[in-house]
Chains A and B, each alone.
Chain A
Amino acid sequence: MSTLGRILIVEDDPNDVELTLTALEEYNLANEVVVTRDGEEALDYLHCRGNFKARSNENPAVLLLDLKLPKRDGLEVLRQIKSDEKLKLIPVVVLTSSHEEKDVVASYKLGVNAYVVKPVDFHEFVNAVKELGIFWAVINESPPGSMKKN
């Protein structure tokens, strides 16, 4: 593996965080993962403010975004990112429980890069997270300004 992009997970449910991290760990993709617990925190991270003032000013290679979040929900975060000149290039993948059509439509209208429904079946779930991690953090050529680790 030549480079590994940083994955930013925005997920409020600790169980989902744990399952996602477990799946990523299984494929050695977990080293460069940052977890934020709500939309506000995710935006703080992206804008290097609040708790993340000190971090180096590089964008993550991919953002795995849950839709149902406390404070600012996923669609709001997505809207902010895609309307911000500095952030709009970050690939955003919605990773959510629901396949409600209106969420899918709204996400794509806001310019989401992918929409993945978390499978109930664990093996499928692990598989989905793995594929996402490998594709976006390894295979995909990230836009300039993304954090990569050799």
Chain B
Amino acid sequence: MPKPLSAIQSYGLAVLAVSVALAAALLLERYNFRGVEFTVFLLAIVVTVWYGRTQAAVFAVVFAVLIFNYFFTEPLHTLYVTRAEIPYYFIFVFFASLLAWFTAIRRRVERELVQSRNELEWEVAERTQQASLLDLTHDSICVRDMDDVITFWNRGAEELYGHRAGELVGKVTTHRLLQTVFPAPLEDINAELLSTGRWDGVLEHTKADGSGVVVSSRWSLRRDEYGNAVAILETNNDITERNRREHEIRTLNEELGKRAAELEAINKELEAFAYSVSHDLRAPLRHMVGFTELLKKNAASLLDDKSQRYVTIILDSAKRMGNLIDDLLAFSRIGRAETHMATLSLQHLVQEAVTEVRQDAGGRNVVWRVGKFPDWCGDRSMLRLALVNLVSNAVKFTRTRPQAEIEIACVDQRQDQVVLFIRDNGVGFDMKYVDKLFGVFQRLHPREAFEGTGIGLATVQRIVHRHGGTVWAEGEVDNGATFYFSLSKPQEPDL
């Protein structure tokens, strides 16, 4: 529909239409067509009414009357109106007004028609778009009447169930088609739907290909203007996969729980075992040592040198076994004990370890180089034990050096990790055997040269692992060794 003209444009149109009518009338007059001027001017008025505004139409009527009077009534070329002409003009104005009125009405009717047509078109477009939007969604949507007959079936439903809308709408009942399995009696579900207007729950359906599908279903009740229930909108989401995963997770969790319980049982057994070892293994050892000592004392005069040596060997071996048992128990305790994480000063801890080992080192000539360390989070007694083990190792394996040099420092300090090292100029080790260093009872040196049970580094490794870190070593035979260990920062230290 064309845009209505503005006021100026309307007046312009009136002038133009009347001028064109004048030109046409003059032309007709020239060719001796008389008596049609009147009609030509009426046409100009109709055009003005049709396209212009009402005021412009009134103007056109007045203007046309003046022009007509000037050019076509006697005396010509004056605006003089004779008495006899007055009714004539009245008829003209009346006729023009009537025409303008009818035209205006027609125009209005036409406009309204166009408008309602447009509205209708818009609504159709909107509806079509909405319907296609319902097809766009991944949800399966169906509408059924109160007799369960399907009245709408979107593309999502087609895709989910494999039934085409064309085959179903108006012909098939939902529950029979999908062989719905309800979580509750259908009467109860319908009762809830009727009372609250909605229902949701989990349904099992059967697809066109016979396979099952689990859906999360939401029903909404539609009522007409009198409040009568007329339709049910059902939206179904396929949750088969989700259900399967949930089931899987549940199974895994149960499995995990079982494993945890098993592990706890094993741990308990281990604890009982360690407890028993600590009691029962030491007693016979004590008796061996005790009675051998008594034998040595009471029978000293009867034993020759060789026998005396045997007695000494028995005693030494028994003592070594005692140490082994103690170390093993300590080692197993580290695996079993709970860690008590707290913020601590590594600086103090290193200093403590050095002081402790130094006392045992006696009058040895050792040059200590101790660096700077940050505060960190860890189990104090465990870390202390690890440091003491490493430092005393350094002292032990530098024993053959006229001047021992031991350096303890921190190399890599990041937000979440710190790396400490202990370097000595001792006897070192062959990198070939680096993998054996941290094993239980693994020794790289003859017992006669360096005492020890071979559990110290295994203990260090276990402690470091319990702090989420790693431990490694570098060394060269006769050229010192460096032991590194990292500690990661726990996310939430239980202070």
B is a partner of A: yes
Task: For chain B, residues 321 to 342, give those with C-beta under 8 angstroms from any C-beta of chain A.
Answer: 322
What are the residues of chain A within 8 A of B280 when measuring CB–CB? 68, 97
* Contact A97–B275 (Cβ < 8 Å): no
A13 to B279, CA, bound (A): 12
Of A15, A22, A100, the residue contacting B275 (CB under 8 A) is A100
Also in contact, A96 and B279, with CB within 8 A (given A120-B285, A120-B318, A121-B319): yes
B290 touches A98 (CB 8 A): no
**In the complex, how many residue pairs between chain A and chain B have their CB atoms under 8 Å apart?**
58
B291 at the binding interface (Cβ < 8 Å): yes
Contact with A along B274-299 (1 / 0, CB 8 A): 11001110111111011111100000
Residues of A within 8 A of B292 (CB): 122
- How far, in whole Å, are A118 and B286 apart by their CA atoms in the complex? 8
Which of B274, B287, B319, B322 has a CB less than 8 Å from the CB of A15?
A: B287
A114 contacts chain B at the CB level, 8 A cutoff = no
Determine if A13 and B283 form an interchain contact, defined as CB atoms under 8 angstroms apart.
yes
Q: How far, in angstroms, from A19 to B293 measured CA to CA in the complex?
A: 11
Q: How far is the CB of B221 from chain A (nearest CB, A)?
A: 66
Q: Is the CB of B279 within 8 A of A98?
A: yes
Assess whether A99 is interfacial by the CB under 8 Å rule.
yes
Q: Are B282 and A97 in contact (CB under 8 A)?
A: yes
| A: number of interface residues (CB 8 Å) | 19
Query: Quick check: B286 and A100 within 8 Å, CB to CB?
Result: no
Asked if A131 is at the interface (CB within 8 A of a chain B CB), the reply is no
Are the CB atoms of B286 and A120 closer together than 8 Å? yes
Write the B87-119 contact mask toward A (1 if CB under 8 angstroms, else 0).
000000000000000000000000000000000
Given A22-B294, A122-B293, A123-B293, A97-B278 contact (CB < 8 Å): yes
Which chain A residues border B279 with CB–CB below 8 Å?
67-68, 96-98, 100
Asked whether A16 is an interface residue with its Cβ less than 8 Å from the other chain, the reply is yes
Interchain nearest-CB distance for A117 vs B (Å): 9
Which positions 35-91 of chain A face chain B at CB distance < 8 Å?
Answer: 67-68
A122 with B290: CB separation less than 8 A: yes
Contact indicator A120/B289 (Cβ below 8 Å): yes
Q: Is A115 an interface residue (CB 8 A)?
A: no
CA distance A22 to B292 in the complex (A): 13
Given known A120-B319, A123-B293, contact A98–B286 (CB-CB < 8 A)? no
Q: A120-B319, A122-B293, A123-B293 are in contact. Are A16 and B283 (CB under 8 A)?
A: yes
Q: Is the CB of A120 within 8 A of B322?
A: yes
Instruction: Please tell me the number of chain B residues within 8 Å of chain A, measured between CB atoms.
Output: 20
Chain B residue nearest in CB terms to A118 = B286
Chain A residues with Cβ under 8 A from B283's Cβ? 13, 15-16, 97, 118
Given contacts A120-B318, A120-B319, contact A19 B278 (CB under 8 A): no
Kindly identify which residue among B278, B289, B319 contacts A100, using a CB–CB cutoff of 8 Å. B278
Interface residues of A in 117-146 (CB under 8 A from B): 118-123, 125
Could you tell me the distance between the alpha carbons of A97 and B282 in the complex, rounded to whole angstroms? 6
Distance to closest chain A CB from B162 (angstroms): 66
Interchain nearest-CB distance for A110 vs B (Å) = 18
Q: Are B278 and A16 in contact (CB under 8 A)?
A: no
Which residues of chain B are near A13, meaning CB under 8 Å? 283, 287
Contacts of A119 in B (CB 8 A): 286
Which among B280, B286, B292 has the highest number of chain A CB atoms within 10 Å?
B286
Report the minimal beta-carbon distance from B229 to chain A, rounded to whole angstroms. Answer: 71
Chain B residue numbers with a CB within 8 Å of A122 are 286, 289-290, 292-294
A98 x B275 contact (CB < 8 A)? yes
Nearest-Cβ distance from residue B286 to partner chain A, whole angstroms: 5
User: A119 vs B291: C-alpha distance in the bound complex, in angstroms?
Assistant: 14
- Tell me which residues across on chain B come within 8 A of A97, comparing CB atoms: 278-280, 282-283, 286
Contact: A98 with B289, CB < 8 Å?
A: no
In chain A, what residue has the closest Cβ to B282?
Answer: A97
Name the A residues within 8 Å of B289 (CB-CB): 120-122
> Chain A contacts of B294 at CB under 8 A?
22, 122
Residue numbers in B under 8 Å from A120 (CB-CB): 282, 285-286, 289, 318-319, 322
Contact pick for B286, options A19, A22, A99, CB 8 Å: A19
* B282 and A16 contact, CB distance less than 8 A: no
The interface residues of chain B lying within 8 Å CB-to-CB of A19 are 286-287, 290-291
User: Which residues of chain A from 1 to 18 have a CB within 8 Å of any chain B CB?
Assistant: 13, 15-16
Quick one: which of A15, A98, A125 has the most chain B CB within 10 A? A98
Q: Mark B421-452, 1 if CB is under 8 A from A, else 0.
A: 00000000000000000000000000000000
A96 to B278, CA, bound (A): 10
* Complex Cα–Cα for A59 and B142 (A): 92
Beta-carbon contact of B275 and A16 below 8 Å: no
Nearest 7 CB-CB pairings of A with B: A120-B322, A122-B293, A15-B287, A98-B278, A19-B290, A97-B282, A122-B290
Q: 24 pairs across A/B with beta carbons < 8 Å? A: A13-B283, A13-B287, A15-B284, A15-B291, A16-B287, A19-B291, A22-B290, A67-B279, A68-B279, A68-B280, A96-B279, A97-B278, A98-B278, A100-B274, A100-B275, A100-B278, A118-B286, A119-B286, A120-B322, A121-B319, A122-B289, A122-B290, A122-B292, A122-B293
Beyond known contacts A15-B291, A121-B322: 4 more, CB 8 A cutoff: A15-B287, A16-B287, A97-B278, A122-B289
